[in-house]
Each structure stands twice: as structure tokens, then as C-alpha cells.
Amino acid sequence: MRACGVSGNKTLALRDLAAREERGEIPTLRQMATMDEDAIIAALIPIRGIGRWTVEMMLMFRLGRPDVLPVDDLGIRKGAQIVDKADAMPTPKTLEERGQRWAPYRTYASLYLWRIADAATKQATPVKRSQE
């Protein structure tokens, strides 16, 4: 696997994932469809290399959950800072509290906050074009 460019840590993570899957410790997508978000997070974060952010991305983009707000994501925090015209990004705790108002559609708020942060980044760093 090293010859394919897979690092030592990623190899350990893949082995842990495979071993847990073989032992039946990982819920299937069908099972996850009926589980709440906190149960899915609790089931997956013990796997080496999988953290809360990774599971939140899966909840949003693979399982299509409409009410996920990844408060530790820097893009989301940056988007909230821009919306608020604040000097600093909100803390995850502050963003979590604020995000309660967006329930049950926090995933959609997250998508908007990412776009706002992306748009601000593109405006802040203009690219010199060869034609100019």
C-alpha cells in the first residue's frame, strides 16, 4: 500500500476500518437510515482516522440529512463571521447556539455559509491573468 502512496497512518486507519467491518461493528447504510445523527456519530468516531467532521460530511452528503451543522468547520465559521461582519470567527459553541434557530435545516445554512466564505476568498485574492 505504501507503493500506492498510502501513508502509514492511513494504512492503520484502513486496517482498523476493515477489522471493525469484519466484526460487524459498523452500521450499514440501511441501518444508518433509521438511526439519529448522534447515534451514527457515536458508532463511527471510534474508528481510527474518522472524526466528528468526517461523519458530519457523510451525514450531509451521503445520507442527505437536512439538519447537520458542522460547527468545527473553518469554512462555516468564516461564513458566519462574514455574515455578522465580525472581527473574529464565532467559536463552535457560539455557532452551535446560533444554529439552533436554523433547525431543522442546518445543512442548508451550512451550504450557504460555505458559499459565502468561498465568495469572500475569491474576491480577496484576485488571480493575475496572463492576458492582463
Quote the cell numbers at residue 110.
451550512
The residue among 63, 97, 68, 98 whose CA lies nearest residue 83 is: 98
107 within 8 A of 67, measured Cβ to Cβ:
yes
Active site residue 73: yes
Strands (E), the chain: none
Considering the candidates 36, 72, 73, 118, report the single residue annotated as catalytic. Answer: 73
Contacts of 88 (CB under 8 A, 6+ apart): 81
69 within 8 A of 102, measured Cβ to Cβ:
yes
Catalytic positions, written as ranges: 73
